[in-house]
Copies of this chain bind each other. A is one copy, B any other.
């Protein structure tokens, strides 16, 4: 059965998945790159990287996923909807390599990129977007790519089978918090915590058997 998964969603100790303000120069606001340094150090990210627990978790991002859904705030800085030439942060060959659905109130025609990524623009509820993405995934899993508000929306809607958060030992104080509205998540998920020598802690949430959507 096709699953809905979240991977490598990095948060601060106080639960913020991004700082503020977000801009073209600072996609994660005052968090800078600090939420993702653990990932940049892995072999998943580049040759010569580490191959320990951080890499083991990070590499699952690509395995078995046939589509991604992301929020408008992940696709571009505030205002990208007004720039008809904007094609995402990632250059001509984005790291998704599958159909990728961008949730936006301003849909536009699809953009076909190199390497198998095609950006589709959807105005849809989480359940509707998931149905569309699952069909495009051709039997593979669907990844919810973030940001935090999109993750929250899909989890709150009961649509997520597996979630991997990475807690980074910084206190951001402000930004977008992943936990808001997710009270009692432990009732539906088995939760594991694994701390890494790099200083981060991997949190996995696996939906309990019988607790399907």
One of A59-67, A73-81, A111-119, A185-193 at the interface = A185-193
Task: Indicate if A157 sits at the interface (CB-CB under 8 A).
Answer: no
> A167 and B186: CB pair below 8 A?
no
Task: Indicate if A199 sits at the interface (CB-CB under 8 A).
Answer: yes
Residues of B within 8 A of A169 (CB): 186, 191-193, 203
Residues of B within 8 A of A200 (CB): 193
Residues of B within 8 A of A199 (CB): 191-193
How many monomers of this chain does the complex have? Answer: 2
Task: Indicate if A171 sits at the interface (CB-CB under 8 A).
Answer: yes
Query: Contact string, A1-12, partner B, CB cutoff 8 A, digits 1/0?
Result: 000000000000
Interface bin, chain A:
20 to 34
Complex-state Cα separation, A15 to B182, whole angstroms: 13
Complex-state Cα separation, A13 to B14, whole angstroms: 9
Task: Indicate if A179 sits at the interface (CB-CB under 8 A).
Answer: yes
Shortest CB distance A54–B (Å): 13
Find the B residue at minimum CB distance from A12.
B179
Residues of B within 8 A of A185 (CB): 13, 170-171
Residues of B within 8 A of A97 (CB): none
Find the B residue at minimum CB distance from A167.
B193
In the A-B complex, list the 5 residue pairs whose CB atoms are closest, starting with the nearest. Answer: A173-B183, A14-B179, A169-B191, A193-B195, A171-B185
A interface residues (Cβ-Cβ under 8 A, vs B): 13-15, 167, 169-174, 177, 179, 181-186, 191-195, 199-201, 203
- CB-defined A-B contacts under 8 Å, sample of 30: A13-B15, A13-B179, A14-B177, A14-B179, A14-B182, A167-B193, A169-B191, A169-B192, A169-B203, A170-B184, A170-B185, A170-B186, A171-B179, A171-B182, A171-B186, A172-B183, A173-B179, A173-B181, A173-B182, A173-B183, A173-B184, A174-B183, A192-B199, A193-B195, A193-B199, A193-B200, A193-B201, A194-B195, A195-B195, A201-B201
